[in-house]
Structure 1
């Protein structure tokens, strides 16, 4: 899932402070994985085929709430073209493919009977990847809760979610774990709950005034923290199950993937410096601190107070160390402006608790920068504050805005340059001691973007979304990435002036 509101931004470039000799993939550690990613609802299509039932994303888009009323009903139609896509991956030289399993396709009602056609599809996809020498890195839950569970008990707001999610994860481990060696429990839980339960801009569209205006139910002051707590419980439950029942025999590893921009102060003023520090704790620390230290960050605990659910001693032990790796989705650095007035409000939401102006609204005014160096600061933070966990960069990419969906564009040199910038920073972070395990470009193909529909393209490979057969075509960035994976060199960019996105 690409980050929030890129389609509104005009970002300034911060020059990349690197001066290194040409690099190849062989300069990265032995076993370092290079790949690309997608997710089920964003790429598969076939939403009403072969027994699949609706997820909350189907309901949201089919009711016309997404940008330009776009849906994932067909998307890139990978459900019917997965063999073609695996062939593309193989020809590019990818080590791995990151994808997610659709809960609604595998267990259509959220619990109960397995859908044989869904089981067959994911078995076929995994086998096809392995036959082409490509590792499957599988996300169990990528924000697409079965609608039936949302209807029954309000989804993430109920502890019943934890039991249903654990049974679903068990089904995945049992049926695919003999071949899948890299599992992700949750993708971007820190984004899902803000969009779904604070601002209400994303499904299931719960919020309260004045923090959100497009909701018929919800409480922005409490529900984000309740939903996050249940996601933490679900993660810990799945990891415990995997370690106790499957890991020894299946010899895989399991982790979680977090959305992780890096926050910098908007000015040198002490209040903005403090605000940036708070935002890094509120965004990344919200989940990392419990996973490493067994409780929420002290700053967050003190500011949110009793609205933050209690983590018992038993749960603390279960959460601490409940990962073999951490996945990071990183795209940009956000400038942060303090807003202490909001913290003094009687009713507060997430941004008010953090005492900041909503960084996404703030950067619509131009207060943001494109700076790959921010990835280095993020990785240093993980290394110093959280014990240097093994890390995969699970999403990183460059978007292009398009108004004409039938446009076929292959010239995307800026994407190649941006990816080079990030890989150079990643290399320097490894030299600085960060325990990096792999890097995945978002995305392999053009997909349905959760916040932007089809008007924003991240794909190394383009997809003609107006063609019945969803024709694929290679962009220059795909050829560049392939050349790098096959021994080509990285070099510092010739020009420091690269816009974060290009508007057609």
Structure 2
């Protein structure tokens, strides 16, 4: 096995802070399973899974069975040597209908998880929302309904009161631009632009309301929101492709951090947002935050398509662009550029809350899972992160996506991002070679 990078010196990580945090990330629906156990309600992804539209007809019914195997997964994290674990809470596990009666058994599961993490010396980072809206609320309009702001605030209050004695790091939303852009109800409907803007605004309002709840409820809370930051580039020199890329870039990268961190919508969005903007809304959205969560994988190449809602489609990558096995560009210097730009724009500590490599890993004849390409990717990307820090970007942590292979949304179980292989037939966990590489990296940087 070629670990490629063995030491902090070779990785040029000396520019990182002495208190830099290394971690891993997951999300509730992607790993927990147990979707109909202990009083949990259904989420929109449970219902979508029944449609048969997900690749291979996969569902999240079992996923990685983390609900029952969380102790084994905590042991993996302890073996890895991480300082922090970012996970999300399943709203329908706590509130089966999205509001009203609280499910004590759901709260108790997260109590066990949090207590287990703390006992292992791992700090819990809790994300309130990673795309699993309760189906009961979707049937009342979901994020299209302005009442969703209060639904989310009430949910945040329950989580804060229950877990805030032990959890201090909270994120409101994970990648709001992604679940709005690619919503089944919005992103595929050319006529839904008004719905799209309404959803953007309500999610932003819900973020602000949750920040206020967390700040008022959790003493010493450290609060942020997590944003997908992927440069949108034209796939050709055509003017129409450049315009489409610029438009998508605003919606993908700016529609949420700009109002949340700077108190304003980008000019391109304002005409669509204004019909839904009430007096005081921007002040309700732009609440004091402590850090900026940044997820990055690769640039996006865009071509014009007037037949779609925002006038774009995904285009060809430049010839010769290195690609992951799932066809995502590998451009580590883009990561450096994104980090420096976010630092200069928002001026808050940055935590890289997702970065990783998707593939189709399989065990070899001996049962081991060797993934040198992922190691190379992680080595190059963490080196680019360190280069951004050397340029002055205030980067304070890095969380690999992901601890485990898991349910990857529309792709089901066909895409594997984990540094731990999951045999879905048996649910056995097998640390990959990248797991051991990451463990060595953490050890080297903590003792450098």
> What runs of 5+ residues in structure 2 fail to find an aligned partner?
1-7, 322-327
2:354 to 395, 407, 421: 395
Find 1:130's aligned residue among 118, 128, 152: 118
Note if 1:324 corresponds to 2:290.
yes
Correspondence for 1:22 among 5, 10, 14: 10
Structure 2 counterpart SS, 1:289:
helix
**Offset of residue 375 of structure 1:** 1.0
Pairing 1:176-191 to 2, within 5 Å after superposition: 176-191=163-178
Equivalent position of 1:215 in the other structure: none
Any conservation in 1 of the 2:212–2:287 contact (CA below 8 Å)? Answer: no
Structure-to-structure mapping, 1:206-245, within 5 angstroms: 206=186, 211=190, 219-243=191-215, 245=216
Report the alpha carbon displacement of residue 435 of structure 1 after superposing the two structures with TM.
Answer: 1.5
2:384 corresponds to 1:425: yes
Report the alpha carbon displacement of residue 409 of structure 1 after superposing the two structures with TM.
5.5
| Residues 31-430 of structure 1 aligned to structure 2 (within 5 Å) | 31-151=19-139, 153-196=140-183, 200=184, 205-206=185-186, 211=190, 219-243=191-215, 245-247=216-218, 250-267=219-236, 272-273=241-242, 275-301=244-270, 305-306=271-272, 309-312=275-278, 314-337=280-303, 339=304, 342=306, 349=309, 351-352=310-311, 357-359=312-314, 361-363=315-317, 369-384=329-344, 386-401=345-360, 410-430=369-389
- CA apart distance, 1:281: 2.1
CA distance, structure 2, for counterparts of residue 24 and residue 206 of structure 1: 44
| Cα offset, 1:43, TM superposition | 0.3
TM-superposed CA distance for 1:294, in Å, is 1.6
Structure 2 SS opposite 1:486: helix
Aligned partner of residue 284 in structure 2, secondary structure: helix
Q: Is the 8 A contact 2:368 2:430 kept in 1?
A: no
Partner of 2:411: 452
Larger mean CA deviation between 83-92 and 287-296 belongs to 287-296
CA distance in 2, matches of 1:488, 1:29: 10
Q: Deviations over 1:38-69 (max 9, x none)?
A: 11111011111111111111111023221111
Q: Give the drift of 1:309.
A: 4.2
| Distance (Å, rounded) in 1 between the aligned partners of 2:176 and 2:269 | 17
C-alpha separation in 1, matches of 2:318 and 2:49: 25
- In the aligned structure 1, how far is the partner of 2:21 from the partner of 2:379? 16
SS of corresponding position for 1:94: coil
Q: 2:444 aligns to what SS in structure 1? A: coil
CA deviation after TM superposition for structure 1 residue 439, in Å: 0.6
Q: Compute the displacement of 1:389 (Å).
A: 2.3
Partner of 1:463: 422
Following superposition, the deviation at residue 179 of structure 1 comes to 0.9
CA RMSD of aligned residues (A): 2.7
Structure 2: distance between partners of 1:426 and 1:445: 23
Query: SS at 2:255's partner residue?
Result: helix
TM-score (norm 1): 0.80
Taking the aligned partners of 2:162 and 2:234, their CA distance within structure 1 comes to 47
Superimposed CA distance per residue, residues 94-114 of structure 1 (whole angstroms, 9 cap, x where no aligned partner): 111111001111111111122
**Whole-Å separation in 2 of the counterparts to 1:251 and 1:394:** 21
Do 1:225 and 1:309's aligned partners in 2 also have CA atoms closer than 8 Å?
no
- Give the whole-Å Cα distance in 2 for the aligned partners of 1:310 and 1:163: 16
Query: Aligned in 2, Cα 1:207/1:285: closer, same or farther, shift over 3 Å?
Result: closer
C-alpha change, 1:335 and 1:437, in structure 2 (3 Å) is: same
Answer yes or no: is 1:475 the counterpart of 2:432. yes
> 1:108, 1:114 within 8 Å by CA — same for their partners in 2?
yes
Structure 1 distance, partners of 2:278, 2:366, is 54
Distance 2:355 2:340 in 1: 17
User: Matches of 1:142 and 1:375 in 2, distance apart?
Assistant: 23
The size of the alignment, in residue pairs, is 434
Query: How many angstroms does 1:276 deviate by?
Result: 4.0
Contact 1:182 1:252 in 2 (8 A): yes
Q: 1:331 to 1:255 in 2, by over 3 A?
A: same
In the other structure, the counterpart of 1:484 is 441
Residue equivalent to 1:5: none
Aligned to 2:4: none
Tell me the distance in 2 between the aligned counterparts of 1:407 and 1:263. Answer: 42
